[in-house]
Amino acid sequence: MRVSERTPEPLDRVPDVNQRMCPSRLVLEHVTSRWGVLVLAALLERPYRFSELRRRVGGVSEKMLAQTLQTLERDGFVDRDAKPVIPPRVDYSLTPLGTEAARQVWELARWSERQVAAVERARERYDGARRESATGSSQ
């Protein structure tokens, strides 16, 4: 069936992340998880081997990187290319869908870098007000 021949989804099946059981929530969770964002962003630069990617994404454990890559591969964002050589070589790269997702989350990551000072100031104001409130109510 070609794309143009698809029948539209029933209205009750249209994805809506605000609905409790919507499968788009899981997709959102995968691409916006701490390691998901960083893996997607790294792969936006170029394909990586596992060990290179682990070094690029500082702080990720081998287990978490493997799980994240497997999840992103299952969702269609990452391509795993295992080459039949000795020693084994596996390269990870973005699929077209993964490239689109990576660009979206990377923009959010860059925004958070630009806004970190404003967020820290807001936290200081909030914490100061909470301390004053706690001190004032204990007297």
The distance between the two most distant Cα atoms of the chain, rounded to a whole number of Å, is 73
Structure pTM? Answer: 0.79
**pLDDT number for residue 32:** 92
Q: What is the pLDDT along the chain (139 residues), one digit of tens a residue?
A: 444 455 555 545 788 888 888 899 989 999 999 999 999 999 999 999 999 999 999 999 999 999 999 999 999 999 999 999 998 899 999 999 999 999 999 999 999 999 999 999 999 999 999 998 888 765 5
**pLDDT number for residue 5:** 54
DSSP secondary structure string, the chain?
A: --GGGPPPPPGGGS--TTSTT-THHHHHHHHHSHHHHHHHHHHHH--EEHHHHHHHSTT--HHHHHHHHHHHHHTTSEEEEEE--SS-EEEEEE-HHHHHHHHHHHHHHHHHHHHHHHHHHHHHHHHHHHHHHHHHHT-
**pLDDT number for residue 128:** 95
Phi, then psi, of 94 in degrees rounded to 5: -90, 145
